[in-house]
Amino acid sequence: MECEGHGTAEHDLSEPMPQWNADQPPTTGLLVQIKSLRDRIRALSSGEGAEETEGVLQALDRVDQAAHLVVCEHAGMADELLGLYDQLGAVFDITRQLPTVMDEPQVKALFARTMTATYNRHLVAFAQPGAGGWQLESLGGDVARLQGSRWVAEFLDRVAAQEIVVVEPSDGPTRKDGIVEVLAAPVVCHGELIMVALVVRDARGDELRAADMNLADVLCAYCADLIANFRLHHQLRQVSVDLVRSLVATVDQKDPYTSGHSIRVGFYATQLGRDLGLNREELQMLEWSALLHDVGKIGIRDEVLKKPGKLTEEEFAHIKEHPVRSYEVVRRVPQLAGALDGIRHHHERFDGSGYPDGLAGRNIPLQARIVQVADIFDALTSSRSYRTAFDWRKAINIIEDEAGTTVDPELAAVFARFIRGRCEGKSDEAWQALFGEAEAMLLKEPEDAAKKDATEV
Ligand SMILES: [Fe+2]
Ligand SMILES: [Fe+2]
């Protein structure tokens, strides 16, 4: 905002005093009033009595200068307020979209979208450090001239991990690129440079102000915090996963025939849950539930667990204790409360003849009905002490035959569609690949159905 200058022109006494204008800021109006009054007095004093009015004029000049300063300060304050408003708007925008953000790349993408929208009158680019130098990207902007600019590369090297800066290139060749000014804001997470956001002003662009630097600073800090949170979350999850993996391996090793069983059940169950449209949190709990469903077998006597022949009534009753034993182990961990249904009820049957509680139909929690289908499928397609593994086709046929008696018919149909979709009409390698994918599933973050749909669009 430009400030009103000090005028000294003679004022026509017949002209009325200017009135306050509703569209004009009052401070600016004050300047006009003072200027007008001073001009009138100066005009009056041009004749007789000039000496008497000199003191009044000097006092008015001082008032005028003070008022002028006030107007300029107001203009600065208005700029500052607008800058704060922009910061709030951008931060609010990011916060509003946070529930849709699942991982670090999505944080970066959200940051890039917000920066690009905020500085929409400039070219916004993002530089990522790589083995071969800086990789520049932009959402729709032309970064070719930046990519080829020696000055930009050198500038980025200097900016890396340093404080946010605005630099006007002074060398001739850069000006030929049309770059007048560059604001560079690094995103630094725990000392690691993640990327540098560049706001590039060409000759037609608005001058970059202090408020623009502040805004970029706030957005970069927010982005770095979010990335730090996701990394921490990932590390904590990895610790939990490693702990569960060793616990599950201990159980599976009790019986070499069931080695890898829990991990594969976790994979099949989350695939089925995904096809049923479960959200991310439900999938996460389903995964834990499936992984830990047989953990209670650790308390089952070895000679019963590994017995190749028919079990006695007492032995069968003992083995049937394992869902409740699993439940008793896992319920000590409050964070896994959402996984308990599938653990306790994975041996219930749809017709009500299962155990431990004899639940039937939809009274069996959905999580348990899902784990049950995955559990049966893996048991059928794995070798046991009393038989070799069934072919996947036979296993699916058996599950379909059991629809309505053992398993939920709707879930049986969805699962059969998933397995056939992956393996039907393909060589046995497709089945082997699926089996291998199942064993590697613990390394992955769960995806919910909404994310799957978004990815596939
Ligand atoms: Fe079981
Ligand atoms: Fe099982």
Tens-digit pLDDT string for the chain (457 aa): 444 444 444 444 455 554 545 455 555 555 666 667 767 766 666 655 566 677 777 777 777 777 666 666 666 666 667 666 776 777 777 787 777 777 888 888 888 888 888 888 888 888 888 777 788 888 877 777 777 777 777 778 777 756 666 666 655 444 556 777 888 888 888 888 888 888 888 777 778 877 788 888 888 888 999 999 988 988 887 888 778 878 888 887 777 667 788 889 999 999 999 999 999 889 989 999 999 999 999 889 988 988 888 889 999 999 999 999 999 999 998 889 999 999 999 999 999 999 999 999 999 999 999 999 999 999 999 887 667 889 999 999 999 999 999 999 999 999 999 999 988 877 777 777 887 777 666 545 555 444 444 333 2
Return the pLDDT at 155.
76
Widest distance between CA atoms in the chain: 130
Compute the residue count for the chain: 457
Measure the CA–CA gap between 295 and 323, rounded to whole angstroms. 8
Q: How far is CA 251 from CA 4, 24, 214, 246, 347, in A?
A: 82, 79, 55, 9, 18
Q: Residue 362 phi/psi, 5° resolution?
A: -75, -5
- Can you give the pLDDT at residue 382? 87
Ligand 1 centroid, distance to 347 Cα (angstroms): 6
The rounded Å distance from CA 294 to ligand 2 centre is 5
What gap in Å lies between CA 450 and CA 88, rounded to an integer? 29
List all residues 6 or more positions away from 130 whose beta carbon is below 8 Å from its beta carbon: none
* CA 416 to ligand 2 centroid distance, Å: 19
Ligand with minimal distance to 380 CA: 2
Ligand nearest to the CA of 384: 2
Torsion angle defined by CA atoms of residues 100, 104, 109 and 112, in that order, rounded to the nearest 10 degrees: 120
Looking at the CA of 297, name the nearest ligand: 1
**Torsion angle of C-alpha atoms 334, 336, 342, 344, degrees rounded to 10:** -40
pLDDT, residue 294, reads: 93
Query: How far is ligand 1, taken at its centre, from the CA of residue 358, in Å?
Result: 15
Q: Compute, in angstroms, the gap from residue 157 CA to the centroid of ligand 1.
A: 58
Please list, in sequence order, all residues whose beta carbon lies within 8 angstroms of the beta carbon of residue 296, skipping any fewer than 6 positions away.
321, 322, 323, 324, 325, 326, 327, 328, 329
User: How much is the pLDDT for 16?
Assistant: 53
Q: What is the pLDDT of residue 76?
A: 66
Closest-approaching ligand to the CA atom of 327: 1
State in Å: Cα 34 to ligand 2 middle: 89
Tokens read off for 187: 């995103």
Cα 232 to Cα 63, 110, 228, 442, distances in angstroms: 59, 19, 6, 18
CB 305 within 8 Å of CB 255: yes
Question: How far, in Å, from the CA of 293 to the mean position of ligand 2?
Answer: 6
Ligand 1 centroid to residue 238 C-alpha, Å:
25
Whole-number Å distance, alpha carbon 375 to ligand 2 midpoint, is 5
Separation CA 88–CA 426 (nearest Å): 55
Can you give the pLDDT at residue 361?
97
Question: Cα(405)–Cα(223) distance, rounded to whole angstroms?
Answer: 52
Q: Where does residue 122 rank: exposed (0-12), middle (13-18), buried (19+ CB within 10 A)?
A: buried
Q: Are 36 and 11 in contact (CB under 8 A)?
A: yes
Rounded Cα distance between 229 and 225, Å, is 6
Cα 258 to ligand 2 centre (Å):
8
Mark out the alpha helices in 255-337 (DSSP H runs).
261-275, 280-292, 302-305, 313-319, 322-330
Q: How many C-beta atoms surround the C-beta of residue 105 within 10 A?
A: 10
User: Look-up: residue for tokens 């957005």?
Assistant: 219
> 12 has which bridge partners?
none
CA distance 371 to 261: 12
Q: Report yes or no: 371 and 346 within 8 Å, Cβ to Cβ.
A: yes
Q: Which pLDDT does position 401 carry in this prediction?
A: 97
Contact of 220 with 187, CB cutoff 8 Å: yes
Ligand 2 centroid to Cα of residue 282, in Å, is 20
Contact 368, 345 (CB under 8 A): yes
Q: Which residue has the tokens 């202090």?
A: 210
- pLDDT value of position 312: 94
> What is the pLDDT at residue 455?
33
